[in-house]
Amino acid sequence: MAGLLLSGEVTAADSTAKRLLLIHARGQGDAWAESLSRGVIDGLHASAQNTELYIENADNGRFDGADYAALAQFIARKYQAFPPDVVLVSDAYAL
């Protein structure tokens, strides 16, 4: 699970930055997920918006049958203080 800051002057408490959370069903290093991440990152850079991007990977391919309800609860708690303005999911399993 990773977070990426797209503006050098933005902190988590900066209320002007738009926070985007990208949730992949697949794991980090998966070519498809990495390609989608790169597209989102490139699009955000091109837009020149004050943006914070956070990326979470459920990695359901390697952990089939895992307790994803607990993962969803963890993610909800993790971002509770600074909720994302937009949540993007890259696969139905990421919902």
Rounded Cα distance between 51 and 58, Å, is 23
pLDDT score at 20: 95
Q: What pTM does this model have? A: 0.75
Per-residue pLDDT reduced to its tens digit, 40-74: 999 999 988 899 999 998 888 777 766 788 888 99
Q: Sign of the CA dihedral 57, 83, 37, 32?
A: positive
- The type of residue at 66 is A
pLDDT score at 5: 39
- Two tokens at 21? 């959370």
pLDDT score at 2: 42
Q: Would the pLDDT of 3 be above 60?
A: no
- The type of residue at 17 is A
Per-residue pLDDT reduced to its tens digit, 5-48: 343 334 455 568 899 999 998 888 888 889 999 999 999 999 88
Cβ-contact 85, 50 below 8 angstroms: no
